[in-house]
Each structure stands twice: as structure tokens, then as C-alpha cells.
Amino acid sequence: MAVTISPPVAEVLKKAAGDKDLEEFLLTLVAERLDPPERIEAYLKLHEKFLREAEELYQKGDLLHAGEKYWGAVAALLNAIAEKRGWEHYSHRDYAVAINRLYRETRNRELVVGFSLAERLHANYYHNFMQKEEFELHREAVLRLVEKLKKFL
């Protein structure tokens, strides 16, 4: 489904979203009107969308935008996990806290490492410092992280 938003409203939404993906931002705004299971499902659908888009962009060689979509996929998945566990999940800090909690629970170091590499993909979107070979290492770690995080649901 496509939704058309007038340019003035779109501009306000983009400004309010800051560096957050617009769809993720809008979901955050309406999430309070949903029941917790509906919120979790919405975050999972957003995760799947971001991951699919990341893979498409990666296949096209658009590593800059693919990396940001991988980050979005991780963030959406962390939103679902945090929602399920009753944890805050409204900021980048909240995601780091969630990862640290999951690490303390499991002692799985790959959670912390994978999250750190996902953050680097996010930073690369703004600063464009990665070469393809380095991107590949980050992508592989993020895909492993995604599989590990799914087990918490």
C-alpha cells in the first residue's frame, strides 16, 4: 500500500524523524495505539522489509544504502525483542542497553561484536569510509547477528 503525503507534511515528518528511517519513526508514533503483540508483529514486518531492501541494494552494489538498511533491520528486530521483554527501545542507547542485557543473559560475545559492526554500517552511511571488502565483513557479521537475535523471539 502506498500513502501519499503532501510535501509540507513530508518535510515536517522528515525533520521530526531526524536520522531515523521515516517508516520506523511513524511506527514509533503509532505504536502506543497498538496492543503489544501487534507492535511486535509490526516491528518484525519492518525488520523483514529492511533486510529485503538491504539485500536488494547489496546485489545492486549500493553498499552505502544497503548498510543503512542492514542497520535498520537490526534496530527493528531489537525493537521487537525489547517490546516483548518490556524494555525501552526508543533510542540508539536503548539498543545498546538491550544488546548488553542479551549478552549478560547468554554470554554470547557475537551479539556485542555483531551489534558493533552494525553500528559501523550505520556510521558508514553518514561518512562513507568503507571499501567493499570491509563492508563484506560487516555484512556477514550483521547477518549472523540477525539470526541470533531472531532466537530471542
Predicted confidence (pLDDT) per residue in 36-49, tens digit: 899 999 999 999 99
Residue with the bigger pLDDT between 135 and 7: it is 135
Q: Summarize the confidence of residues 58-65 as an average pLDDT.
A: 98
Backbone angles phi, psi at 128, to 5 degrees: 50, 60
- Report if residue 82 sits inside a domain: yes
Task: For residue 120, give its domain range.
Answer: 20-150
Q: Summarize the confidence of residues 103-121 as an average pLDDT.
A: 98
How many domains, in total, are found in the chain?
1
24 has pLDDT over 80: no
Read off the CATH number of the domain in which 38 is found: 1.20.120.330
Residue 29 corresponds to which cell in the numbers above?
Answer: 508514533
* 72/136 Cα distance (integer angstroms): 17
Nearest to 50 by CA among 78, 84, 74: 74
- Report if residue 34 sits inside a domain: yes
- Report if residue 124 sits inside a domain: yes
103 has pLDDT over 90: yes
The reported pLDDT for the residue numbered 99 is 98
